[in-house]
């Protein structure tokens, strides 16, 4: 079988259409489609119609897109100025979210109106998108000045089986339910990531030094901060550095979505047929 024949069969099967249906869409016989999938090659002038019918690029029909797509996207982001790289990356994330729309006609409508994110957020509404399918799930937030994206592939086992045990998860949520810990987290993230003395945290949070050190014990134990001791003329003091590479910001973003009443569904698909856990 030729490369293009394998690709036609793969994408046709993925779309759930028969050889006859594909032939009808592009104006050829069932026998022609069968011939291609057995090793023949379609005429060049049919490639655009095949590409549209299968919702893939012409490069994909030749087996090139799967090899080059990751590299192409990575190079685009790498070559963008730092000030534009994350904007470009989120446009790609938004393209992924739109791509999960199953209806090609509906997708065309969305692309016509909302391929530019400014067309969504111009009215200052706090929008969200949620696509929950059997193969995974994705969410996007499109607030006027806060965009984020989450994508999860369906694991082979239960999603719950991938998590730490319930007691360990509960301890994490305890951190964010503790007003003093949350106050310290917000203060630490308001500063550059440099070591901060207990006394400075105390001054800016209104907590006494002993309470600050107790709270920081908890954050260090969960690897959200790191403690060092520094020798001064008045003795040894504790200084703390927050781990900005942690998952605190994503967790707070999703907590904020749950906390808000005004989040408006923009694009939603809950066609999942099996439990999440």
15 within 8 A of 50, measured Cβ to Cβ: no
Q: Strand 127-133's sheet: what is its strand order?
A: 146-153, 136-143, 127-133, 264-270
Whether 107 is covered by a domain: the verdict is no
Count the domains in the chain: 1
DSSP state of 2: -
Give the residue numbers spanning the domain of 41: 3-66
Whether 239 is covered by a domain: the verdict is no
| pLDDT (tens place) for every residue of the chain, 277 residues total | 578 888 899 889 988 899 999 999 999 999 999 999 898 889 889 999 998 888 888 888 888 765 567 777 888 898 899 889 999 999 999 999 999 988 888 888 888 888 777 767 777 788 899 999 999 999 999 888 899 999 999 999 889 999 999 999 999 999 999 999 999 999 999 988 889 999 999 999 999 999 999 999 999 999 999 999 999 888 899 999 988 777 899 999 999 999 988 788 888 899 999 999 8
Whether 266 is covered by a domain: the verdict is no
DSSP string, 195-262: -EEHHHHHHHHT--HHHHHHHHHHHHHTTSEEEEEEEETTEEEEEEEE-TTSSHHHHHHHHHHHH-S-
Whether 7 is covered by a domain: the verdict is yes
CATH code assigned at 22:
1.10.260.40
Of the CA atoms within 13 Å of residue 274, those in its CB half-sphere come to: 11
Whether 216 is covered by a domain: the verdict is no
Whether 120 is covered by a domain: the verdict is no
The whole-angstrom separation of Cα 222 and Cα 210 is: 19
User: Residue 223, by phi and psi: left (phi above 0), alpha (psi -120 to 50) or beta?
Assistant: left
Whether 46 is covered by a domain: the verdict is yes
Whether 8 is covered by a domain: the verdict is yes
23 within 8 A of 30, measured Cβ to Cβ: yes
């Amino acid at each position: 079988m030729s490369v293009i024949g394998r690709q036609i069969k793969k994408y046709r099967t993925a779309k759930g259409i028969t050889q006859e249906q594909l032939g009808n869409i592009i104006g050829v016989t069932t026998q022609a489609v069968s011939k291609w999938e057995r090793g023949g090659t379609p005429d060049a002038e049919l490639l655009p119609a095949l590409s549209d019918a299968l919702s893939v690029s012409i490069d994909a029909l030749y087996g090139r897109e799967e090899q080059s797509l990751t590299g192409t996207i990575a190079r685009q982001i790498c070559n963008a100025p730092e000030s534009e790289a994350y904007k470009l990356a989120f446009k790609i994330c938004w393209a992924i979210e739109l791509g999960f729309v199953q209806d090609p006609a509906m997708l065309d409508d969305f692309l016509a109106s909302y391929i530019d994110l400014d067309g969504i957020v111009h009215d200052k509404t706090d929008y969200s998108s949620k696509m929950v399918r059997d193969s995974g799930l994705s969410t996007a937030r499109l607030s006027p000045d806060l965009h984020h994206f989450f994508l999860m592939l369906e694991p082979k086992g239960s999603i719950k089986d991938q998590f730490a045990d319930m007691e360990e998860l509960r301890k994490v949520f305890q951190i964010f339910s503790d007003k003093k810990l949350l106050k310290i987290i917000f203060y630490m993230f308001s500063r550059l990531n440099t070591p901060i003395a207990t006394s400075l945290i105390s001054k800016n949070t209104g907590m006494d030094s002993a309470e600050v050190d107790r709270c920081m014990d908890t954050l260090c134990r969960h690897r959200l901060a790191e403690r060092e001791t520094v020798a001064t003329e008045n003795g040894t003091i504790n200084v703390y550095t927050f781990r900005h590479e942690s998952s605190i910001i994503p967790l707070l973003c999703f907590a904020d979505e749950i906390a808000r009443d005004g989040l408006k569904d923009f694009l939603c698909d809950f066609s999942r047929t099996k439990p999440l856990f």
